Amino acid sequence: MKDKASQTSALVTFEDNRLLPLLFGEQDRNLSKLEERLSVNISSRGNMVSISGEARHVKISESVLNEMYNKLKHGHNVEENEIDAAIRRYTTVAGIAVSQRKVNGETHEPVNTNAPWKEITIKTYKKNIVPFSATQAEYLDHIFKRDLTFASGPAGTGKTYFAVAAAAHLFLMHKVDRIILSRPAVEAGEKLGFLPGDMKEKVDPYLRPLYDALHDMMPAERLQKHLASGEIEIAPLAFMRGRTLKYSVILLDEAQNVTPIQMKMFLTRMGEGSKMIINGDMSQTDLGPGQKSGLEDAMKRLKKIKEIGMIRFGSEDIVRHSLTAKIIEAYEK
Protein backbone atom coordinates (compact mmCIF):
# COMPACT_ATOMS: atom_id res chain seq x y z
CA MET A 1 0.00 0.00 0.00
CA LYS A 2 1.34 3.43 -0.94
CA ASP A 3 2.36 5.84 1.82
CA LYS A 4 -0.26 8.59 1.93
CA ALA A 5 2.40 11.03 3.06
CA SER A 6 4.12 10.64 -0.31
CA GLN A 7 0.93 11.53 -2.20
CA THR A 8 0.44 15.08 -3.45
CA SER A 9 -1.32 17.14 -6.11
CA ALA A 10 -0.35 20.03 -8.35
CA LEU A 11 -2.29 22.52 -10.44
CA VAL A 12 -0.57 23.64 -13.66
CA THR A 13 -1.87 26.72 -15.51
CA PHE A 14 -1.14 27.35 -19.20
CA GLU A 15 -1.48 30.81 -20.74
CA ASP A 16 -2.59 29.91 -24.27
CA ASN A 17 -5.70 27.71 -24.47
CA ARG A 18 -5.23 27.28 -28.22
CA LEU A 19 -2.14 25.14 -27.67
CA LEU A 20 -3.78 22.72 -25.25
CA PRO A 21 -5.35 20.36 -27.84
CA LEU A 22 -1.86 19.90 -29.30
CA LEU A 23 -0.36 19.47 -25.84
CA PHE A 24 -2.96 16.93 -24.70
CA GLY A 25 -2.89 15.00 -27.98
CA GLU A 26 -5.71 13.40 -29.93
CA GLN A 27 -8.37 12.20 -27.47
CA ASP A 28 -6.03 13.32 -24.65
CA ARG A 29 -3.57 10.59 -25.64
CA ASN A 30 -0.56 12.40 -24.16
CA LEU A 31 -2.28 12.83 -20.80
CA SER A 32 -3.28 9.16 -20.82
CA LYS A 33 0.31 8.20 -21.50
CA LEU A 34 1.48 10.19 -18.45
CA GLU A 35 -1.22 8.59 -16.31
CA GLU A 36 -0.31 5.09 -17.46
CA ARG A 37 3.49 5.45 -17.27
CA LEU A 38 3.64 7.37 -13.98
CA SER A 39 0.54 6.12 -12.14
CA VAL A 40 -0.89 9.62 -11.70
CA ASN A 41 -4.38 11.01 -12.16
CA ILE A 42 -4.77 13.97 -14.52
CA SER A 43 -7.82 16.11 -15.19
CA SER A 44 -8.17 19.35 -17.11
CA ARG A 45 -10.56 22.27 -16.90
CA GLY A 46 -10.13 25.36 -19.06
CA ASN A 47 -6.45 26.25 -19.09
CA MET A 48 -5.70 24.37 -15.86
CA VAL A 49 -4.45 20.81 -15.41
CA SER A 50 -4.68 19.00 -12.08
CA ILE A 51 -2.19 16.18 -11.37
CA SER A 52 -2.33 13.90 -8.32
CA GLY A 53 -0.32 10.90 -7.23
CA GLU A 54 3.07 10.09 -5.75
CA ALA A 55 4.98 13.34 -5.23
CA ARG A 56 7.93 12.51 -7.46
CA HIS A 57 5.70 11.29 -10.29
CA VAL A 58 3.53 14.41 -10.06
CA LYS A 59 6.66 16.54 -10.38
CA ILE A 60 7.82 14.56 -13.42
CA SER A 61 4.38 14.87 -15.07
CA GLU A 62 4.41 18.61 -14.45
CA SER A 63 7.92 18.91 -15.93
CA VAL A 64 6.98 16.94 -19.05
CA LEU A 65 3.86 19.02 -19.69
CA ASN A 66 5.71 22.31 -19.17
CA GLU A 67 8.51 21.22 -21.49
CA MET A 68 6.12 20.20 -24.26
CA TYR A 69 4.06 23.37 -23.82
CA ASN A 70 7.20 25.50 -24.20
CA LYS A 71 8.02 23.65 -27.42
CA LEU A 72 4.55 24.40 -28.80
CA LYS A 73 4.83 28.04 -27.68
CA HIS A 74 8.02 28.37 -29.74
CA GLY A 75 6.34 26.96 -32.85
CA HIS A 76 7.56 23.34 -32.66
CA ASN A 77 5.41 20.24 -32.93
CA VAL A 78 5.08 17.68 -30.16
CA GLU A 79 5.10 14.05 -31.26
CA GLU A 80 4.09 11.08 -29.16
CA ASN A 81 7.59 9.63 -29.05
CA GLU A 82 8.83 12.89 -27.52
CA ILE A 83 6.49 12.36 -24.58
CA ASP A 84 8.01 8.89 -24.09
CA ALA A 85 11.53 10.30 -24.32
CA ALA A 86 10.80 13.08 -21.83
CA ILE A 87 9.28 10.63 -19.33
CA ARG A 88 12.35 8.38 -19.59
CA ARG A 89 14.68 11.34 -19.23
CA TYR A 90 13.02 12.84 -16.15
CA THR A 91 12.58 9.49 -14.43
CA THR A 92 16.24 8.64 -15.10
CA VAL A 93 17.42 11.99 -13.76
CA ALA A 94 15.23 11.59 -10.67
CA GLY A 95 16.80 8.19 -10.04
CA ILE A 96 20.44 9.32 -10.41
CA ALA A 97 20.31 12.79 -8.91
CA VAL A 98 23.11 12.03 -6.45
CA SER A 99 24.96 9.35 -8.40
CA GLN A 100 26.73 8.73 -11.68
CA ARG A 101 25.10 7.13 -14.70
CA LYS A 102 25.98 3.94 -16.57
CA VAL A 103 26.42 4.04 -20.35
CA ASN A 104 27.54 0.97 -22.29
CA GLY A 105 28.70 -0.59 -19.04
CA GLU A 106 30.94 2.37 -18.16
CA THR A 107 30.39 4.97 -15.44
CA HIS A 108 30.06 8.61 -16.50
CA GLU A 109 29.21 11.88 -14.81
CA PRO A 110 25.55 12.88 -15.16
CA VAL A 111 24.84 15.52 -17.76
CA ASN A 112 23.95 19.04 -16.68
CA THR A 113 20.16 18.80 -16.68
CA ASN A 114 19.84 22.36 -15.41
CA ALA A 115 21.47 23.81 -18.54
CA PRO A 116 19.18 26.00 -20.71
CA TRP A 117 19.14 23.39 -23.48
CA LYS A 118 15.46 23.94 -24.27
CA GLU A 119 16.42 27.29 -25.80
CA ILE A 120 18.71 25.73 -28.43
CA THR A 121 17.26 25.90 -31.94
CA ILE A 122 18.99 24.70 -35.11
CA LYS A 123 17.80 26.41 -38.27
CA THR A 124 17.77 24.34 -41.46
CA TYR A 125 16.23 24.97 -44.89
CA LYS A 126 13.01 23.06 -44.13
CA LYS A 127 12.45 23.42 -40.39
CA ASN A 128 13.85 24.37 -37.03
CA ILE A 129 15.14 21.51 -34.89
CA VAL A 130 15.49 21.43 -31.11
CA PRO A 131 17.20 18.84 -28.89
CA PHE A 132 14.98 16.51 -26.89
CA SER A 133 17.45 15.89 -24.05
CA ALA A 134 20.28 17.58 -22.20
CA THR A 135 22.75 15.10 -23.70
CA GLN A 136 21.65 15.99 -27.23
CA ALA A 137 22.08 19.67 -26.37
CA GLU A 138 25.55 18.96 -24.97
CA TYR A 139 26.35 17.12 -28.21
CA LEU A 140 25.34 20.16 -30.28
CA ASP A 141 27.29 22.46 -27.97
CA HIS A 142 30.43 20.37 -28.56
CA ILE A 143 29.89 20.39 -32.33
CA PHE A 144 29.54 24.16 -32.51
CA LYS A 145 32.39 24.93 -30.10
CA ARG A 146 34.95 22.25 -31.01
CA ASP A 147 36.60 21.13 -34.24
CA LEU A 148 36.33 17.41 -33.42
CA THR A 149 33.47 15.66 -31.62
CA PHE A 150 32.96 11.96 -30.90
CA ALA A 151 29.58 10.48 -29.93
CA SER A 152 28.72 6.93 -28.97
CA GLY A 153 25.46 5.38 -27.83
CA PRO A 154 22.49 3.22 -28.80
CA ALA A 155 20.22 3.58 -31.81
CA GLY A 156 17.57 6.28 -31.70
CA THR A 157 19.49 8.81 -29.59
CA GLY A 158 19.93 11.31 -32.45
CA LYS A 159 23.67 10.84 -33.06
CA THR A 160 23.36 11.00 -36.84
CA TYR A 161 20.26 13.20 -37.07
CA PHE A 162 21.60 16.04 -34.92
CA ALA A 163 25.04 15.85 -36.55
CA VAL A 164 23.47 16.27 -40.00
CA ALA A 165 21.22 19.04 -38.63
CA ALA A 166 24.26 20.89 -37.25
CA ALA A 167 26.06 20.46 -40.59
CA ALA A 168 23.04 21.80 -42.51
CA HIS A 169 22.81 24.75 -40.12
CA LEU A 170 26.52 25.65 -40.48
CA PHE A 171 26.20 25.37 -44.27
CA LEU A 172 23.06 27.54 -44.31
CA MET A 173 24.79 30.16 -42.15
CA HIS A 174 27.83 30.13 -44.52
CA LYS A 175 30.13 28.99 -41.72
CA VAL A 176 31.43 26.21 -43.98
CA ASP A 177 31.57 25.73 -47.75
CA ARG A 178 30.85 22.00 -47.88
CA ILE A 179 29.19 19.09 -46.11
CA ILE A 180 30.86 15.70 -46.45
CA LEU A 181 29.01 12.69 -45.03
CA SER A 182 30.65 9.29 -44.92
CA ARG A 183 30.01 5.75 -43.75
CA PRO A 184 31.91 2.48 -43.99
CA ALA A 185 30.08 0.53 -46.71
CA VAL A 186 28.99 -3.09 -46.17
CA GLU A 187 31.74 -3.88 -43.68
CA ALA A 188 34.93 -2.36 -42.33
CA GLY A 189 36.90 -3.79 -45.27
CA GLU A 190 34.43 -2.29 -47.79
CA LYS A 191 34.50 -5.30 -50.13
CA LEU A 192 32.04 -4.06 -52.72
CA GLY A 193 33.23 -5.91 -55.80
CA PHE A 194 30.70 -8.73 -55.57
CA LEU A 195 27.74 -6.31 -55.66
CA PRO A 196 26.05 -5.53 -59.02
CA GLY A 197 26.12 -2.08 -60.65
CA ASP A 198 28.57 0.82 -60.73
CA MET A 199 30.22 2.20 -57.58
CA LYS A 200 27.36 4.60 -56.80
CA GLU A 201 24.79 1.81 -57.09
CA LYS A 202 26.95 -0.41 -54.87
CA VAL A 203 27.32 2.03 -51.98
CA ASP A 204 24.09 4.07 -52.05
CA PRO A 205 22.04 1.55 -49.99
CA TYR A 206 24.59 1.85 -47.16
CA LEU A 207 24.52 5.65 -47.29
CA ARG A 208 20.71 5.91 -47.43
CA PRO A 209 20.28 7.02 -43.76
CA LEU A 210 22.43 10.07 -44.50
CA TYR A 211 20.31 10.94 -47.56
CA ASP A 212 17.17 10.51 -45.44
CA ALA A 213 18.44 12.90 -42.77
CA LEU A 214 19.36 15.53 -45.38
CA HIS A 215 15.95 15.23 -47.08
CA ASP A 216 14.37 16.00 -43.70
CA MET A 217 16.23 19.33 -43.56
CA MET A 218 16.52 20.46 -47.16
CA PRO A 219 14.07 20.67 -50.11
CA ALA A 220 14.75 17.96 -52.69
CA GLU A 221 15.60 20.36 -55.54
CA ARG A 222 18.07 22.29 -53.36
CA LEU A 223 19.68 19.08 -52.12
CA GLN A 224 20.10 17.80 -55.68
CA LYS A 225 21.66 21.12 -56.70
CA HIS A 226 24.20 20.97 -53.85
CA LEU A 227 24.96 17.30 -54.54
CA ALA A 228 25.53 18.06 -58.25
CA SER A 229 27.86 20.97 -57.42
CA GLY A 230 29.84 18.93 -54.88
CA GLU A 231 28.95 21.30 -52.04
CA ILE A 232 27.33 18.30 -50.37
CA GLU A 233 29.05 14.96 -50.80
CA ILE A 234 27.93 11.58 -49.51
CA ALA A 235 30.62 8.95 -49.95
CA PRO A 236 31.93 5.70 -48.47
CA LEU A 237 34.91 5.91 -46.15
CA ALA A 238 37.31 4.57 -48.80
CA PHE A 239 36.79 7.76 -50.82
CA MET A 240 38.34 9.85 -48.01
CA ARG A 241 41.86 8.47 -48.45
CA GLY A 242 44.48 10.98 -49.61
CA ARG A 243 42.26 14.05 -49.28
CA THR A 244 42.59 17.20 -47.17
CA LEU A 245 39.18 18.72 -46.49
CA LYS A 246 39.04 22.47 -45.75
CA TYR A 247 36.12 24.65 -44.58
CA SER A 248 33.83 21.64 -44.35
CA VAL A 249 31.70 19.72 -41.88
CA ILE A 250 32.86 16.12 -42.16
CA LEU A 251 30.70 13.41 -40.56
CA LEU A 252 31.75 9.78 -40.16
CA ASP A 253 28.67 7.74 -39.27
CA GLU A 254 28.60 4.10 -38.05
CA ALA A 255 32.21 4.55 -36.94
CA GLN A 256 32.08 1.42 -34.77
CA ASN A 257 32.64 -0.45 -38.07
CA VAL A 258 35.99 1.12 -38.92
CA THR A 259 39.36 -0.25 -37.83
CA PRO A 260 41.88 1.85 -35.88
CA ILE A 261 43.96 2.25 -39.09
CA GLN A 262 40.94 3.54 -41.00
CA MET A 263 40.07 5.86 -38.13
CA LYS A 264 43.58 7.35 -38.14
CA MET A 265 43.31 7.87 -41.91
CA PHE A 266 39.96 9.64 -41.50
CA LEU A 267 41.06 11.86 -38.60
CA THR A 268 44.03 13.12 -40.57
CA ARG A 269 41.78 14.37 -43.40
CA MET A 270 40.80 17.45 -41.38
CA GLY A 271 41.93 20.70 -42.95
CA GLU A 272 41.75 24.40 -42.14
CA GLY A 273 38.36 25.71 -41.02
CA SER A 274 36.76 22.27 -40.81
CA LYS A 275 34.73 20.44 -38.19
CA MET A 276 34.67 16.68 -37.78
CA ILE A 277 31.88 14.63 -36.16
CA ILE A 278 32.39 10.91 -35.57
CA ASN A 279 29.66 8.71 -34.14
CA GLY A 280 28.60 5.13 -33.72
CA ASP A 281 27.12 2.45 -31.50
CA MET A 282 29.74 0.25 -29.83
CA SER A 283 27.16 -2.50 -29.27
CA GLN A 284 26.45 -2.96 -33.00
CA THR A 285 29.84 -3.52 -34.57
CA ASP A 286 30.05 -5.65 -37.73
CA LEU A 287 33.81 -6.14 -37.47
CA GLY A 288 35.17 -9.65 -37.56
CA PRO A 289 36.22 -11.64 -34.47
CA GLY A 290 39.26 -10.17 -32.79
CA GLN A 291 39.09 -6.86 -34.69
CA LYS A 292 39.14 -3.74 -32.55
CA SER A 293 36.68 -0.93 -33.25
CA GLY A 294 38.34 2.27 -34.39
CA LEU A 295 35.68 4.31 -32.60
CA GLU A 296 36.31 2.72 -29.23
CA ASP A 297 40.07 2.87 -29.76
CA ALA A 298 40.04 6.57 -30.74
CA MET A 299 37.81 7.62 -27.84
CA LYS A 300 40.19 5.94 -25.40
CA ARG A 301 43.35 7.33 -27.02
CA LEU A 302 42.08 10.89 -27.34
CA LYS A 303 39.94 11.29 -24.20
CA LYS A 304 42.51 13.50 -22.43
CA ILE A 305 42.68 16.08 -25.23
CA LYS A 306 40.43 18.85 -23.90
CA GLU A 307 39.85 20.40 -27.34
CA ILE A 308 38.00 17.23 -28.43
CA GLY A 309 34.33 16.75 -27.51
CA MET A 310 33.26 13.34 -26.19
CA ILE A 311 29.57 12.48 -25.77
CA ARG A 312 28.11 9.18 -24.56
CA PHE A 313 24.37 8.73 -25.00
CA GLY A 314 22.25 6.40 -22.87
CA SER A 315 18.88 4.75 -23.31
CA GLU A 316 17.21 7.75 -21.62
CA ASP A 317 18.12 9.83 -24.71
CA ILE A 318 16.25 7.59 -27.16
CA VAL A 319 13.55 9.42 -29.15
CA ARG A 320 11.80 6.62 -31.01
CA HIS A 321 8.97 4.25 -30.26
CA SER A 322 8.89 3.54 -26.52
CA LEU A 323 9.63 -0.14 -27.22
CA THR A 324 13.01 0.78 -28.73
CA ALA A 325 14.38 1.87 -25.35
CA LYS A 326 13.00 -1.26 -23.64
CA ILE A 327 14.52 -3.53 -26.30
CA ILE A 328 17.93 -1.86 -26.00
CA GLU A 329 17.85 -2.05 -22.19
CA ALA A 330 16.92 -5.76 -22.39
CA TYR A 331 19.89 -6.51 -24.66
CA GLU A 332 22.25 -4.51 -22.44
CA LYS A 333 21.20 -6.62 -19.46
Residue 1's pLDDT is 47
Query: Are 185 and 235 part of one and the same domain?
Result: yes
CATH number at residue 133: 3.40.50.300
What single letter denotes the amino acid at residue 290? G
pLDDT at 93: 56
Mean of pLDDT values over 307-321: 82
Query: What was the pLDDT predicted at 116?
Result: 42
Number of domain units in the chain: 2
One domain for residues 213 and 311: yes
Of the ranges 94-103, 139-148, 183-192, 204-213, the best mean pLDDT one: 139-148
Residue 278 shares a structural domain with residue 324: yes
208 is a domain residue: yes
Give pLDDT tens digits for 215-244: 988 999 999 999 999 999 988 888 888 888
Highest mean pLDDT among 102-116, 232-246, 267-281: 267-281
Residue 17: pLDDT over 90: no
At 288-300, the pLDDT tens digits run 788 889 999 999 9
- pLDDT by residue (tens digit) across 157-185? 889 999 999 999 999 989 999 999 998 86
pLDDT at 115 over 50: no
How far apart, in whole angstroms, are the C-alpha atoms of residue 242 and residue 285?
26
Confidence (pLDDT) at 42: 92
* The predicted structure's pLDDT at residue 194: 47
Last residue of a domain, one of 78, 99, 133: 78
Residue 111 CB contacts under 8 Å (≥ 6 apart), including other chains = 133, 134, 135, 138
Same domain, 122 and 25: no
pLDDT of residue 96: 31
Q: Is residue 92 part of a domain?
A: no
Q: What pLDDT is stored for residue 106 in this prediction?
A: 43
Full domain range(s) for residue 248: 111-332
Contact of 315 with 89, CB cutoff 8 Å: no
- pTM of the predicted structure, to 2 decimals: 0.67
119 & 72 share domain: no
